[in-house]
């Protein structure tokens, strides 16, 4: 793969990063694949260029910077808060466009002022894009996974269904399929009649014993990655999920929530009205949402540029709250995107909880917009 040329405006971006008190970091192009495969989400997983080292360990070409920057922070035991900036190549399989291209961005780690750091991530990305594309009006789409999670939990769904819906956040087709399944439950296919009978009776000990005997008889036990108890627990969970039905009123509420799309300045009142009318307690999530809106207004960002979409998410599994994308008004190409990922550093091995938010700039798309100006 031939190397792409560094965009001529890269120096301007680095100046902007420096003026914001960031520390420039770089990470190896060859990365361990496991963190991306485990935490980045299906959309990125299928785009990764995979390879192996001589020990058979899975490696990949760097597909994004957030996970490598977080790993570097953990390995160097650097204190927080810390703002890192990066600019370099990433590698992804794409149907159109180059397979390697430049990204730049800021990862803001450890700032406990959640609303202020959320607002700063949006404001910084907009300010940098405005400098690079001074004649292009921008539009911002904003979502909030934590508000969606609060709605799903308030509906009282089993934990397994909550997890499924939350993992599908931002994927409208997948969400729609899950809601159809909740409306018309289907039995778990292919279950052995004896297993079905034991599940129906709720006899967990007998079920474990039956699974253990079957594994011994088939020789599966020597290669099993799960114990009989784990398999029994998983079967019970699948049965509960398959039998769960969300009543029509609750389904309508969830669909009503997901249909919300309005200017950010009107979103707080709309969400509060929805929660009151539905009888759902979303207090903490809505308080955080309101605090972010106020913090954004204080940065000087024009709230009229921002549309809140309740169903909007980004195709990376590690987001936990704010998600946003910035584009040239009327254009489909995303020029910048980011969000909050408060659980990621703990999952990567950090010993303490580290709140985090960040954004990335797509330099190839910005270059195209500059050429079209």
Binding residues for L-histidine: 64-66, 92, 103, 107, 314, 318-319
In order of 231, 298, 340, 373, the CA distances from 224 in angstroms are 10, 56, 37, 59
d(CA 370, CA 212): 64
Residue 239 CA to residue 236 CA, distance in Å, equals 5
List C-alpha distances in Å: 324 to 29, 77, 88, 334.
26, 29, 22, 10
Count other Cβ atoms within 10 Å, centred on residue 264.
Answer: 22
Report the C-alpha gap between 366 and 7 in whole angstroms. 9
Q: How far apart are CA 170 and CA 315, in angstroms?
A: 7
Q: How many CB atoms lie within 10 A of CB 249?
A: 9
Task: List helix spans (H) across the chain.
Answer: 10-19, 34-39, 42-45, 66-76, 114-132, 145-154, 159-167, 172-183, 193-201, 204-218, 228-243, 248-258, 264-278, 283-299, 344-347, 363-372
Q: Where does residue 232 rank: exposed (0-12), middle (13-18), buried (19+ CB within 10 A)?
A: buried
Q: Fill in the DSSP letter of residue 318.
A: T
What distance in Å separates the CA atoms of residue 291 and residue 134, rounded to the nearest whole number? Answer: 29
* 94/239 Cα distance (integer angstroms): 38
CB atoms near residue 227 (< 10 Å): 14
Residues annotated within a binding site = 64-66, 92, 103, 107, 314, 318-319
């Amino acid at each position: 793969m031939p190397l792409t040329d560094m965009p001529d405006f890269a120096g301007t971006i680095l100046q902007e990063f420096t003026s914001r008190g960031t520390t420039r970091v770089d990470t190896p192009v060859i990365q361990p694949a496991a963190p991306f495969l485990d935490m980045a989400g299906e959309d990125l997983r299928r785009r990764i260029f995979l390879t192996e080292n001589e020990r058979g360990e899975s490696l990949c070409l760097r597909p994004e910077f957030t996970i490598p920057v977080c790993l570097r922070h953990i390995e160097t035991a650097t204190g927080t808060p810390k703002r890192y900036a990066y600019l370099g190549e990433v590698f992804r399989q794409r149907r159109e466009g180059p397979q390697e291209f430049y990204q730049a961005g800021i990862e803001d780690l450890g700032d406990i002022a959640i609303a202020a750091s959320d607002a700063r991530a949006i404001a910084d990305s907009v300010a940098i894009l405005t400098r690079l594309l001074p004649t292009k009006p921008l539009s911002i789409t904003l979502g909030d996974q934590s508000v969606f999670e609060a709605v799903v939990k308030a509906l009282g769904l089993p934990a397994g269904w909550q997890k499924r819906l939350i993992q599908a956040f931002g994927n409208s087709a997948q969400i729609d399929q899950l809601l159809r399944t909740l409306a018309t439950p289907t039995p778990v296919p292919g279950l052995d009649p004896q297993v079905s009978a034991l599940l129906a009776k709720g006899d967990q000990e007998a079920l474990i014993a039956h699974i253990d005997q079957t594994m011994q008889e088939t020789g599966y036990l020597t290669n099993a990655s799960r114990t009989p108890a784990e398999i029994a627990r998983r079967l019970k969970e699948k049965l509960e999920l398959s039998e769960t039905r969300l009543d029509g009123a609750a389904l309508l509420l969830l669909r009503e929530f997901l249909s919300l799309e309005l200017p950010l300045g009107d979103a707080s009142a709309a969400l509060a009205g929805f929660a009151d009318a539905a009888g759902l307690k979303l207090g903490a999530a809505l308080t955080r949402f309101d605090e972010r809106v106020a913090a954004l207004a204080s940065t000087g960002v024009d709230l009229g540029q921002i549309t809140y979409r309740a169903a909007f998410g980004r195709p990376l599994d590690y987001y936990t709250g704010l998600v946003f994308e910035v584009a040239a008004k009327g254009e489909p190409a995303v020029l910048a995107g980011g969000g909050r990922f408060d659980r990621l550093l703990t999952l990567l091995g950090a010993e303490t909880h580290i709140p985090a938010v960040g954004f990335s700039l797509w330099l190839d798309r910005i270059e195209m917009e500059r050429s079209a100006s």
